[in-house]
Structure 1
Amino acid sequence: MPKSRTRSSAYSGCKENTLNTHQTLTVTVENRVATVTLNRPEVRNAFNETTITELALAFDELGRREDVRAIVLAANGVAFCAGADLNWMKKMAGYSDAENLDDATRLADMLRTIYLCPKPVVAKVQGDCYAGGMGLVAACDVVVAVEEANFCLSEVKLGLIPATISPYVIKAMGENAARRYFLTAERFSAREAYRIGFAHEISTADELDEHVAGIVRALATNSPNAVAEAKVLVRDMAGKEVTDALLLDSAQRIANIRSSLEGREGVASFLEKRKPSWLN
């Protein structure tokens, strides 16, 4: 398994840790940043039941690790993810209703594990991203796509619908864009993905690594507890009506974080003009 290149950074000091227990992924941890890489380039990183299980386990484990400050979701090969594996889809064609529901629930649980992961997750989209692959990306917190990448919600071409990925994709691109792309199954560019808000940044292929590294450096230097709480804050506040109860909730959250260990340490380090303890 190839190791990622060592680089100096503001969060250096941890050795690379490569985990070799996966069939369809590679997982490395280096300098407090984990990289989960889809590793089935021969099928354009299409996922099957093994990939679903391994992604869920990897993100669950990494979310619990104190030495991990951020996670990059990447892929090997020319495509990021082509969606569901054809051989897996052939198997599903013979499933009973109960088996289909169980299978779909596993996929839904995996996406939720990524979405709810307490660590910030950055999707590094180096190539085409179709169908279920868009669900993987939409479950991440930050999306950087190479400008040559194409996107497509192709399910209706096969008589299907993008159901399990829909909660995340609709949040990411908005209802209006989803109305179009869920129904037309049109392929669209990285620039269109950026325009509708699905991608946060687009990059040239030569600059993709550095774009992602810059975002990861920012994430890894922030308070781990505050980052985790900020993720929850966005999920809980988005789309809510501003009521007295919501205002009280927001006030309670800032009061709680101010009195937390990292909250006190962050303010103290700022006033004392020193690095906070989580950078040591």
Structure 2
Amino acid sequence: MTDTQSLVRAAHHRGVATLTLDSPANRNALSAALVAELRATLEQCGRDGTVRAIVLTHTGTTFCAGADLRDPPDPKALVELLRQLLELRKPVVARVTGHVRAGGLGLLGACDIAAAGAEATFAFTEVRIGVAPAVISLTLRPRTDARALARYYLTGETFGSAEAARIGLLTAAGADVDDVLEPVLDGLRRASPTALAETKHLLTTKVLENFDLDTGELTRLSSRLFASADAREGMTAFLERREPGWVL
């Protein structure tokens, strides 16, 4: 496998393909271009018989800052990316050593295993710019504690990796994420490729059933909110580095 992407770097070692989000100019935000490149690279990994599992990681201090407000992906494109991660016949492991915000948390929810180091932080910041974590709920609501989601969705508070593991957003957290993932990757390398594929299918079947039921409603909600007056004010305030007008 060769590195042909400008925003997603790919490397391959002992059956594990590592895909690194490498868009430092926007803190690895989900731009239309990054989403398209990540989807293409995942498709390549899916066809590569030498790839046993995929690690999704990042450069810099931010895993993913959420949707790129200057070049946002179409909600349907984000839905397709999340579905692709769930349907891929190979395990996808998130490796986080930095901050994760908004739409980036949807990527974690779509991964089969997610681990973070002690320096990682997480926040559902959508309500602070006038929208809601709609599309990413497709992967998060089935896998994350409902009461915790209620708190963090509604407040936009920042929390750490230990709390993220407690509520099911992460599989595991530790001081050094690579120490956490060492036995995970060893286990994946020891597993039969066919068994991995069928076991992943077993685990994601119910998630995908709910995904199909909710996609239309949540995509429409996302589009409606992003077109609202509150969203225009919230995104403008964010880009201008000021508080939106509704802050008391």
Q: Deviations over 1:17-68 (max 9, x none)?
A: 4x23212110112211100100012322112001111111111221221110
Find the residue that maps to 2:100 and give its secondary structure: strand
The residue aligned with 1:246 is none
Amino acid at match of 2:90: K
The answer to whether the aligner puts 1:229 opposite 2:198 as a matched pair is yes
Task: Measure, in 2, the Cα distance between the counterparts of 1:227 and 1:70.
Answer: 9
Q: How far has the Cα of 1:237 moved from its partner?
A: 5.5
Amino acid at match of 1:36: L
**Structure 1: where are the runs of 5+ without partners?**
1-16, 90-101, 241-280
The residue aligned with 1:264 is none
Structure 2 counterparts to residues 129-144 of structure 1, below 5 A:
129-144=100-115
The answer to whether the aligner puts 1:149 opposite 2:120 as a matched pair is yes
Amino acid at match of 2:41: A
Q: Deviations over 1:226-272 (max 9, x none)?
A: 1111111122357x9xxxxxxxxxxxxxxxxxxxxxxxxxxxxxxxx
Output the aligned Cα RMSD: 1.9
Question: Runs of at least 4 residues of structure 1 off by over 6 A?
Answer: none
Find the residue that maps to 1:20 and give its secondary structure: coil
The residue aligned with 1:128 is 99
Task: Measure, in 1, the Cα distance between the counterparts of 2:150 and 2:86.
Answer: 22
Give the total of aligned pairs: 209
Amino acid at match of 1:231: K
Structure 2 counterparts to residues 105-254 of structure 1, below 5 A:
105-204=76-175, 207-236=176-205
Task: Measure, in 2, the Cα distance between the counterparts of 1:221 and 1:233.
Answer: 19
TM-score by length of 1: 0.71
Q: How far has the Cα of 1:197 moved from its partner?
A: 1.4
Of all paired residues, the percent bearing the same amino acid is 38
Task: Measure, in 2, the Cα distance between the counterparts of 1:137 and 1:200.
Answer: 10
Find the residue that maps to 1:28 and give its secondary structure: strand
Find the residue that maps to 1:22 and give its secondary structure: coil
Amino acid at match of 2:142: K
TM-score by length of 2: 0.79
Work out whether residues 22 and 28 of structure 2, in 8 Å CA contact, stay in contact via their aligned partners in 1. yes
Q: How far has the Cα of 1:196 moved from its partner?
A: 0.8
Task: Measure, in 2, the Cα distance between the counterparts of 1:30 and 1:156.
Answer: 40
Amino acid at match of 1:192: E
Q: How far has the Cα of 1:173 moved from its partner?
A: 1.3
The answer to whether the aligner puts 1:47 opposite 2:33 as a matched pair is no
The answer to whether the aligner puts 1:70 opposite 2:53 as a matched pair is yes
**Structure 2: where are the runs of 5+ without partners?**
210-248
Task: Measure, in 1, the Cα distance between the counterparts of 2:125 and 2:166.
Answer: 20
Amino acid at match of 2:32: E
Q: How far has the Cα of 1:128 moved from its partner?
A: 0.6
Q: How far has the Cα of 1:129 moved from its partner?
A: 0.4
Q: How far has the Cα of 1:214 moved from its partner?
A: 2.4
